[in-house]
């Protein structure tokens, strides 16, 4: 006689399988660890390193790395390590905010285009139009048109932050939209979607209950790539002098300020350049690991 008194074990969550696969990608684990370290460092580093990034000490200008200033000082005597921490907060905040805006726009366009056949052609031609636009000239034109009005309305720092985030988010949603649309078109023909439609499930409930949860894999991968793209774009704009004010450091702005002194003090270019490169590399590795972990065809190999 079979003993049925033992409680049944709860089924294993699918997210544990995702984590098990993610752990096997060493580059993704190292990248995620490094990115988490950077986020924690720029967020809480100001409480451990109390030197103000804007404090001017003319007597200590153009110093090399030392115990008082691990990264040295700039031509105004400002501590470069403090500026790297503050600049990292701005660059990471821009990357995360622009990524969220880009994902919301891309996911909305992709889901609507894939689910509603009548809107598919219009939205995809709009997507193709945005993809055909030259990105850098478009960014420059938008910034030149809206920089001063937003500065006057929200202040120099907040206004430029809103402008940079909006510009990057609005010009980088297209790849996400195309990927999500393709997945939605495939999901529409799956049995569970056809069954839900046969019992009268409305479009809103169908999208939020059945479609969106099944396209989270490409959305999460696009999120990691979006962070890297936003950080690079913000750094490029700041390097060109079209980003934040000169007294408001970002990694791109620090790189721009250091180019003039590259021959005399090459380490000034090295610190922000390494921060941008390593952070973007870490995020890209993390995206590769998430792509493999969230793909059921790869998981378990």
- Give per-residue pLDDT as tens, 253-266: 888 888 888 888 88
Average pLDDT over residues 227-243: 81
* Domain 25-53+66-294 class, CATH top level: mainly alpha
102 pLDDT band, cuts 50/70/90, is very high
Domain segments of the chain: what residues? 25-53+66-294
Confidence of residue 34 (pLDDT cuts 50, 70, 90): very high
Structure confidence by residue, pLDDT tens digits, 162-190: 888 988 888 889 989 998 998 888 888 88
Contact 292/298 with Cβ under 8 angstroms?
yes
| Of residues 289, 80, 115, the one with CA closest to residue 212 | 115
pLDDT at 35: 92
- What confidence category does residue 278 fall into, taking pLDDT thresholds of 50, 70 and 90? very high
Residue 238 dihedral angles phi and psi, to the nearest 5°: -65, -35
Location of structure tokens 């007294």: 247
pTM of the full structure: 0.82
Decide: helix, strand or coil at residue 205: helix
Q: What angle do CA 172, 175, 178 make, to 5 degrees?
A: 135
Most confident residue range from 5-19, 99-113, 205-219, 284-298: 99-113
């Amino acid at each position: 006689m079979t003993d049925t008194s033992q409680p049944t074990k709860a089924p294993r969550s699918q997210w544990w399988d995702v984590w098990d696969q993610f752990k096997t990608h060493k580059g993704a684990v190292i990248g995620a660890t490094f990115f988490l370290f950077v986020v924690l460092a720029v967020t809480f580093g100001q409480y451990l390193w109390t030197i103000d990034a804007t404090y001017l000490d003319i007597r200590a200008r153009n110093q090399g790395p030392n115990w008082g200033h691990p990264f040295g000082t700039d031509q105004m005597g400002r501590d470069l390590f403090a500026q790297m921490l503050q600049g990292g907060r701005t660059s990471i905040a821009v990357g995360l905010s622009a990524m969220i805006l880009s994902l919301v726009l891309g996911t909305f366009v992709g889901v609507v285009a894939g689910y509603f056949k009548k809107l598919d052609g219009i939205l995809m031609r709009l997507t193709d139009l945005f993809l055909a636009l030259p990105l850098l000239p478009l960014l420059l034109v938008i910034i030149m048109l809206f920089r001063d009005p937003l500065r006057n309305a929200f202040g120099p720092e907040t206004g430029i932050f809103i402008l940079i985030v909006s510009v990057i988010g609005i010009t980088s949603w297209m790849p996400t939209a195309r990927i999500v649309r393709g997945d939605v078109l495939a999901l529409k023909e799956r049995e569970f979607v056809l069954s839900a439609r046969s019992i009268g499930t409305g479009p809103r409930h169908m999208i939020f209950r059945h479609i969106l949860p099944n396209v989270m894999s490409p959305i999460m991968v696009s999120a990691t790539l979006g962070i890297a793209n936003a950080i690079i774009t913000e750094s490029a704009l700041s390097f060109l002098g079209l980003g934040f004010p000169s007294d408001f450091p970002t990694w791109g702005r620090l790189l721009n300020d250091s180019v003039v002194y590259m021959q005399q003090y090459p380490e000034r270019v090295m610190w922000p350049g390494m921060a941008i490169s390593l952070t973007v590399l870490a995020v890209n590795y993390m995206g590769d690991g998430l792509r493999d972990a969230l793909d059921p065809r790869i998981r378990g190999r």
